[in-house]
């Protein structure tokens, strides 16, 4: 009987010891992960990205000079597109990205897009720019990630609307609005 009591006490002691070790591991594991997260937030300085102001036609003329560079372009928005997506040499999948076109600045008599410049932006960001219209003045920032086909391919980080195209408002009522 005494032997049985000793075995029972040992089992309780082992169970208690294992429970205590698990509890300490969880406690210190959680505390250390919180301490690391807090340290990460305070140690990492916000990094200021310097974009180089570039003329879009200069970029198209010599894309190799801008490869892997952060750039900024002032332009006139033309339209969203799928141009350049899913091309293996500069892969950006159409399910995650959308491209857009800007207007050429060297031709003023007609509206012609600068299709040699592949501007690609994540769909989540593009969805926030749904109100962009052809003719809106924009500033775009991004990184030239490829010069495939001797064209510049730009991952666009941000689009800032500088001015919206003037919208004409008609005084005519729609037929459904006439009483």
Domain that holds residue 105: 52-163
pLDDT digits (tens, 9 = 90+) for 15-27: 655 655 565 455 5
H or E element that contains 7 = helix 2-43
State whether 14 and 74 are in the same domain.
Answer: no
Strand 52-53 versus strand 118-122 pairing type = unpaired
**Is residue 35, in this structure, part of any structural domain at all?**
yes
**Is residue 148, in this structure, part of any structural domain at all?**
yes
Distance CA 88, CA 93 (A): 9
**Is residue 175, in this structure, part of any structural domain at all?**
no
Question: Which stretches of 32-169 are assigned E, i.e. beta strand?
Answer: 52-53, 70-81, 97-102, 118-122, 137-146, 153-163
State whether 70 and 149 are in the same domain.
Answer: yes
Q: Based on the structure, what is the number of domains in the chain?
A: 2
pTM of the model: 0.66
State whether 15 and 87 are in the same domain.
Answer: no
Longest dimension (CA), the chain: 106
pLDDT digits (tens, 9 = 90+) for 123-145: 999 999 999 999 999 999 999 99
State whether 58 and 33 are in the same domain.
Answer: no
Q: Give yes or no for a contact between 92 and 145, defined as CB atoms under 8 angstroms apart.
A: no
State whether 106 and 153 are in the same domain.
Answer: yes
**Is residue 82, in this structure, part of any structural domain at all?**
yes
Q: How far from chain centre, in Å, is Cα 171? A: 41
Q: Judge whether residue 42 has pLDDT over 80.
A: no
Q: Give yes or no for a contact between 179 and 92, defined as CB atoms under 8 angstroms apart.
A: no
Considering the chain, what percentage of its residues have pLDDT values greater than 70? 65
**Is residue 177, in this structure, part of any structural domain at all?**
no
Q: Which single residue is written with the structure tokens 């008609």?
A: 170
State whether 69 and 154 are in the same domain.
Answer: yes
State whether 27 and 88 are in the same domain.
Answer: no
State whether 76 and 149 are in the same domain.
Answer: yes
Query: Which of the four pLDDT bands, split at 50, 70 and 90, describes residue 164?
Result: very high
């Amino acid at each position: 009987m005494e032997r049985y009591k000793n075995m029972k006490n040992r089992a309780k002691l082992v169970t208690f010891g294992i429970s205590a070790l698990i509890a300490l591991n969880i406690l210190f594991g959680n505390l250390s992960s919180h301490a690391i997260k807090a340290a990460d937030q305070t140690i990492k300085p916000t990094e200021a990205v310097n974009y180089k102001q570039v003329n879009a036609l200069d970029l198209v003329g010599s894309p190799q000079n801008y490869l892997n560079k952060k750039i900024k372009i002032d332009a006139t928005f033309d339209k969203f597109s799928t141009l350049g997506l899913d091309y293996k040499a500069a892969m950006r999948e159409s399910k995650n990205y959308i491209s857009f076109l800007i207007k050429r600045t060297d031709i003023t008599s007609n509206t012609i897009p600068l299709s040699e410049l592949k501007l690609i932006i994540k769909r989540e960001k593009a969805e926030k720019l749904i109100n962009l219209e052809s003719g809106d003045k924009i500033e775009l920032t991004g990184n030239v990630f490829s010069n495939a086909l001797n064209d510049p391919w730009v991952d666009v980080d941000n689009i800032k609307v500088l001015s919206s195209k003037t919208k004409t408002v008609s005084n005519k009522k729609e037929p459904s609005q006439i009483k």
